[in-house]
């Protein structure tokens, strides 16, 4: 700790108090009519001291940055804060002035009213690779044609029809489209439900039927993270009406694992609510289905909730 000392100035008869610094240096400054020399020495000392200190900090920071990879996170999967259970997100999101809201509400035939939702989708989908002519390492993937090393899979926006910009994402027909995306987790590999005879009891019956039909007719597409959207409560299930999923009912397995490759595009599923009941709030819950995706409604893990209201 600093130590205070009283020192005698025998020439001027003045007692000067000096406080020891962390380096145990005691400076005795005598009264000098000019004083400029002492001040200059102090300035040089502190300039050198803080210069050396800044250099040491810069060297430590440089050494630390050498241990980091710009593309590969230091901590992954169970060793990271994100963990191994991806979340599910939806678009369009409500306006930013009400960040806690999850309600999509508009009047079906009023362009100025639903325009905020279609504009939000335009902005969300305006990324490199989804715009024709952009993306230098985009590859046309398929279930039996995964991307080569250094390339990423294309996302075909034409496969979302009628959920396209040219069709106002079907909002003008009171049958809106909502896009689902799975949060990215580095090096996470899904464990697929690719056997119709071994599906969880809580999986919706219509999804089980869909998987069974895919197994019979398109077996090569079974490595998919399946998706379901339905009303949260019995009344919601009656009001939500028929639902279509485009281009397929899930996220294709050839997009995984995510390894932060340049130009990577997250797969999207367009959920088309064809005839939702108007004039009533419909609570909707969407889930992603894989053996290593856990669902927790309270924590919103592996699922997402939103409301739909069309006047």
Output the six-digit token pair for 136.
């230098």
> Is pLDDT larger for residue 14 or for residue 41?
41
Query: H helices within 126-269, ranges in order?
Result: 205-217, 234-239
DSSP symbol at 223: S
Q: How far apart are CA 61 and CA 53, in angstroms?
A: 12
Q: How far apart are CA 200 and CA 52, in angstroms?
A: 64
> Is pLDDT larger for residue 44 or for residue 143?
143
Give a yes or no: residue 118 inside a domain: yes
Rg of the chain over CA atoms, in angstroms?
Answer: 31
Give residue 246's pLDDT. 96
Give a yes or no: residue 72 inside a domain: no
Give a yes or no: residue 82 inside a domain: no
Q: Dump pLDDT digits (tens) for 225-254.
A: 999 999 999 999 999 999 999 999 999 999
Q: Is the per-residue pLDDT at 28 higher than 70?
A: no
Q: Dump pLDDT digits (tens) for 173-220.
A: 999 999 999 999 998 999 999 999 999 999 999 999 999 999 999 999
Give residue 36's pLDDT. 62
Q: How confident is the model at residue 20 (pLDDT cuts 50, 70, 90)?
A: very low
Q: Is the per-residue pLDDT at 158 higher than 70?
A: yes
Give residue 69's pLDDT. 66
Q: What is the mean pLDDT of residues 97-104?
A: 84
Give a yes or no: residue 158 inside a domain: yes
Q: Is the per-residue pLDDT at 29 higher than 70?
A: no
Q: Is the per-residue pLDDT at 12 higher than 80?
A: no
DSSP symbol at 73: -
Domain count across the chain: 1
Phi/psi of residue 155, nearest 5 degrees: -115, 115
Highest mean pLDDT among 25-29, 147-151, 268-272: 268-272
- Of the candidates 206, 52, 68, 179, the residue with the CA atom closest to the CA atom of residue 120: 179
Give residue 4's pLDDT. 42
Q: How confident is the model at residue 33 (pLDDT cuts 50, 70, 90)?
A: very low
Give a yes or no: residue 28 inside a domain: no
Give residue 16's pLDDT. 43
Give a yes or no: residue 301 inside a domain: yes
Could you tell me the pTM of the whole model?
A: 0.77
Give residue 130's pLDDT. 54
Asked if 39 contacts 17 with a C-beta cutoff of 8 angstroms, the reply is: no
- Of the candidates 92, 108, 94, 104, the residue with the CA atom closest to the CA atom of residue 275: 108
Q: How confident is the model at residue 30 (pLDDT cuts 50, 70, 90)?
A: very low
Instruction: Go through the chain and tell me how many residues it has.
Output: 311
Asked if 9 contacts 32 with a C-beta cutoff of 8 angstroms, the reply is: no
Q: How far apart are CA 123 and CA 272, in angstroms?
A: 19
- Of the candidates 173, 171, 183, the residue with the CA atom closest to the CA atom of residue 92: 171
Helix (H), strand (E) counts: the chain = 4, 13
Q: What is the mean pLDDT of residues 281-292?
A: 97
Q: Is the per-residue pLDDT at 65 higher than 80?
A: no
Q: What is the mean pLDDT of residues 30-48?
A: 70
Give a yes or no: residue 75 inside a domain: no
Give residue 135's pLDDT. 58
Give a yes or no: residue 270 inside a domain: yes
For residue 230, give the CATH number of its domain: 2.60.40.1660
> Is pLDDT larger for residue 93 or for residue 43?
93
Asked if 118 contacts 169 with a C-beta cutoff of 8 angstroms, the reply is: yes
Q: How high does pLDDT run on average in the chain?
A: 84
Domain limits at 202?
89-310
């Amino acid at each position: 700790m600093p130590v205070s000392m009283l020192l005698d100035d025998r020439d001027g008869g003045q007692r000067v108090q000096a406080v020891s610094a962390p380096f145990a240096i005691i400076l005795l400054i005598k009264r000098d009519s000019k004083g400029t020399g002492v001040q200059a020495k102090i300035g040089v000392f502190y300039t050198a001291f803080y210069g050396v200190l800044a250099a040491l900090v810069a060297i430590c920071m440089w050494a630390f940055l050498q241990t980091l990879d710009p593309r590969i996170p230091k901590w992954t999967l169970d060793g990271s804060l994100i963990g191994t259970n991806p979340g599910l997100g939806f678009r369009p999101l409500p306006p930013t002035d009400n960040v806690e809201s999850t309600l999509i509400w508009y009047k079906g035939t009023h362009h100025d009213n639903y325009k905020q939702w279609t504009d939000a989708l335009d902005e969300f989908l305006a990324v490199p690779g989804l715009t024709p002519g952009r993306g230098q390492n985009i590859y046309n993937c398929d279930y039996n044609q995964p991307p080569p090393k250094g390339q990423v899979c294309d996302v075909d926006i034409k496969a979302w029809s009628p959920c396209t910009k040219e069709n106002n994402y079907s909002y003008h027909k009171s049958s809106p489209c909502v896009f689902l995306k799975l949060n990215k987790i580095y090096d996470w590999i899904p464990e697929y439900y690719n056997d119709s005879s071994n599906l969880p009891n809580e999986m919706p019956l219509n999804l089980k039927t869909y998987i069974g039909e895919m197994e019979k007719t398109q077996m090569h597409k079974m490595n998919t993270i399946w998706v379901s959207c339905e009303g949260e409560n019995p009344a919601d299930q009656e009001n939500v009406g028929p639902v279509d999923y485009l281009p397929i009912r899930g996220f294709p397995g050839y997009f995984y694992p995510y390894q932060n490759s340049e130009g990577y595009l997250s797969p999207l599923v367009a959920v088309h609510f064809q005839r939702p009941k108007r004039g009533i709030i419909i609570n909707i819950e969407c889930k992603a289905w894989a053996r290593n995706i856990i669902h927790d409604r309270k924590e919103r893990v592996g699922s997402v909730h939103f409301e739909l209201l069309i006047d």
